[in-house]
Amino acid sequence: MVLFRDTKRESWDIRQLDINNAFLNGKLEEDVFMEQPQGFVDASKPDYKFKNSKVDSSLFFYKAPGLMVMVLIYVDDIIVTSNNTHKLNQFVEKLHAMFALKDLGPLHYFLGIEVHRDETGLYLNQGKYVKELLHRTGMMHLKPCSTPMTVGRPLSKSDGDPLQNPTDYRSIIGGLQYLTHTKHDLSFAVNKLSQFLQAPTTAHWSATKRVLRYLKGTVYHGLHIKNSDRLAITGYSDADWACFPDDRRSVAGYCVFFTDTLVSWSSKKQAVVSRSSTSSSFSRNLVDPVPSQRI
C-alpha cells in the first residue's frame, strides 16, 4: 500500500510513462541479469539503488533520508511516484535519456483501471472494462439488480443442465475475476461461480447473468483511496459453515482497512471440512494466509 501523503501533508505526484518501441521478442546480444550477482558492486553507478518489493515483483522502490521513489513496471507501462517532485522529474529525465520515453502525465488509466484524483485522494474503477464485458456478452440491455447473488439454496454441481458451450462461461468468469481488483463486492459471488468452471450448467449461467445485471447498475463503482496522516490497520473476518452442498466445505472471507481505505480482501473456499462453525472461522487463518486481492 502506497501512502499518498507524507509527514508534511503534501500530496505525492503520480506519473504514468510509456516506453516507445518495446519489443517483447527482441534478440539480445548481451547478458541480462534478473537479479544482481552476489558480491557485485559498481562504484561508477552509485545511484543504482532501487530495490525490488518482496510483495510485488514488478514494484521497485528507492529510499533515502526524506526521500521515497516508487516505480511500478508492467512490460512497457510504468507508474512512478515520489514525495519529492524535483527528484521525480530528475528520475523521469534520466529514463528519457536512456529510452524512447513518452510522459503521459498524471496517472489516469492503467491496465484497464481508471484513476481519478481530487483533494481527498484517488478513485479507482473499471467502468470501461465493465462496459466492454457487458457488450461482449450482449448484456447491456438487461435490467440492473441491486445485489450480485440471491439468498437461499446454495448452488450445486447438480443444478441445471450442462451448457453446450462452457467456453463462454469460463471466459466471462475470468473477466469477472479481473474486476475484483476494484469491485470487492463481487468477490463472494465470483468465488462461488468459479467452483463450477469444469462443468458449468444452465443454473450457473443464470447466476452469472445476475452478476452481470448487478454490474449494469454499478458500472463506475470502485475504490476510494483516501489521504490520511494516521497509521491504523483494522481487519474483519468471518466464515459460513458447510455452505457448499457438494463437499460441505466452508467459505471464509476477510477485509483489511488501512485507516479508512480498504486495501486487502478475500473470499475463498477452505481446503478442509470444518466440524463446527468455530472451527470454520479458525481454519480461515490456516489455509488462506495470503490475500486474494491487495492494493
Phi, psi of 116 (to 5 degrees): -125, 140
Distant-in-sequence, close-in-space partners of 277: CB < 8 Å, separation ≥ 6: 239, 241
Q: In whole angstroms, how far apart are CA 212 and each of 75, 92, 203, 228, 263?
A: 31, 41, 15, 34, 24
> In angstroms, what is the C-alpha Rg of the chain?
23
Burial class (CB in 10 A: 0-12, 13-18, 19+), 177: middle
Q: Over the range 121-143, which residues count as b (16 or more CB within 10 Å of their CB) and which as e?
A: bbbbbbbebbeebbeebebeebe
Distant-in-sequence, close-in-space partners of 88: CB < 8 Å, separation ≥ 6: 13, 15, 69, 80, 81, 82
How confident is the model at residue 284, as a pLDDT? Answer: 46
Among residues 178, 256, 169, the alpha carbon closest in space to that of 204 is found at: 169
How confident is the model at residue 4, as a pLDDT? Answer: 42
Q: What is the pLDDT of residues 183-236, one digit of tens each?
A: 999 998 999 899 899 999 999 999 999 999 999 999 999 999 988 888 889 999
Sheet holding 101-106, edge to edge: 51-52, 59-64, 67-74, 77-82, 13-19, 101-106
Phi, psi of 170 (to 5 degrees): -65, -40
Q: In whole angstroms, how far apart are CA 131 and each of 101, 128, 142?
A: 31, 5, 12
- Read off the amino acid at residue 120: T
Among residues 253, 118, 112, the alpha carbon closest in space to that of 192 is found at: 253
How confident is the model at residue 33, as a pLDDT? Answer: 73
List of the chain residues with pLDDT < 50? 1-9, 282, 284-291
Contacts 24+ apart (CB under 8 A), 206-210: 206/160, 207/149, 207/150, 207/155, 208/169, 208/172, 208/173, 208/176, 209/139, 209/142, 210/145, 210/148, 210/149, 210/150
